[in-house]
């Protein structure tokens, strides 16, 4: 099931308004087309995660689309590092696959800002080629809980306990997001700076959730062990003859 956050529609309206200001009605329609095309790729990215998760028996509640991207909501995250690694890598792999197909169809743009408002299907194809490369590379950034951060946690979990792996993945994410925030502010990329702030707090929140769940499971195991512990065997009675 695919859900839209209300702010997604606000962003669509903003993009259409900017296109209309720059190129009139054609600009409005082309801006809407490129916006929806990019978020179609976002949905495909999340479906990559979802299909891989379902392969390992993980339920997928929904895919939520927001202005900053998409998010697949799972019932749980597999504790097996190999499974989490494959689930996390599936999304960027879809983006790189889309970019590879488009590269065979359209020419590679001369520059990153070569297309502002597209005016043809070729322009949309070139824009999407770049967008999918950026999306795939950006999601591989080791900033937990992004895909790269989850891949890092999965690799760490091969050697250390799951909670400690989450802790170190979250610590790396903090360093990466702080550096990214400073660079984004320096270059005037305030939207990117806002994303860095969100990732910083999301990573910390997920680490605390994992730690809390681990403590709850430990308490439950301890309670069950006490409840179902076998009573000590009674000594046989001593007979006085």
Torsion sign over Cα 32, 37, 39, 43: positive
Token pair for residue 18?
A: 């900017």
State how far the alpha carbon of 214 is from the alpha carbons of 145, 177, 185, 211, in Å: 18, 26, 37, 5
CA distance 50 to 71: 10
Tokens of 95: 């983006």
Q: Which two tokens stand for residue 118?
A: 């597209």
Length of the chain: 241
**Where do runs of H (alpha helix) occur along 56-109?**
81-105
Which among 84, 67, 41 is positioned nearest to 206, based on CA atoms? 84
Choosing from 17, 46, 204, 222, the catalytic residue is 46
Note if 22 is an active site residue. no
Backbone phi, then psi, for 3, in 5-degree steps?
Answer: -120, 150
End-to-end CA distance of the chain: give it in Å, rounded: 79
Where in the sequence numbering do the catalytic residues fall? 46
């Amino acid at each position: 099931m695919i859900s839209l956050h209300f702010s997604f529609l606000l962003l669509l309206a903003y993009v259409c308004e900017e296109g209309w200001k720059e190129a009139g009605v054609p600009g409005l329609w082309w801006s809407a087309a490129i916006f929806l095309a990019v978020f179609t790729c976002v949905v495909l990215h999340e479906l990559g995660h979802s299909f891989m998760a379902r392969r390992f028996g993980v339920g997928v509640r929904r895919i939520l689309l927001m202005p900053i991207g998409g998010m697949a909501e799972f019932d749980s995250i597999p504790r097996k590092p190999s499974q989490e690694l494959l689930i996390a890598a599936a999304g960027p792999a879809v983006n790189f696959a889309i970019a590879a197909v488009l590269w065979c169809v359209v020419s590679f743009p001369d520059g990153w800002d070569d297309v502002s408002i597209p005016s043809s299907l070729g322009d949309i194809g070139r824009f999407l080629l770049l967008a999918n490369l950026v999306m795939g590379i950006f999601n591989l950034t080791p900033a937990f809980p992004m895909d790269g951060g989850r891949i890092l946690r999965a690799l760490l979990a091969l050697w250390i306990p799951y909670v400690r792996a989450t802790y170190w993945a979250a610590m790396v994410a903090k360093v990466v997001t702080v550096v990214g925030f400073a660079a984004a502010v320096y270059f005037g990329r305030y939207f990117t700076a806002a994303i860095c702030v969100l990732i910083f707090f999301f990573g910390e929140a997920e680490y605390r959730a994992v730690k809390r769940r681990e403590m709850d499971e430990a308490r439950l195991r301890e309670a069950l062990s006490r409840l179902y512990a076998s009573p000590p065997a009674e000594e046989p009675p001593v007979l006085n003859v």
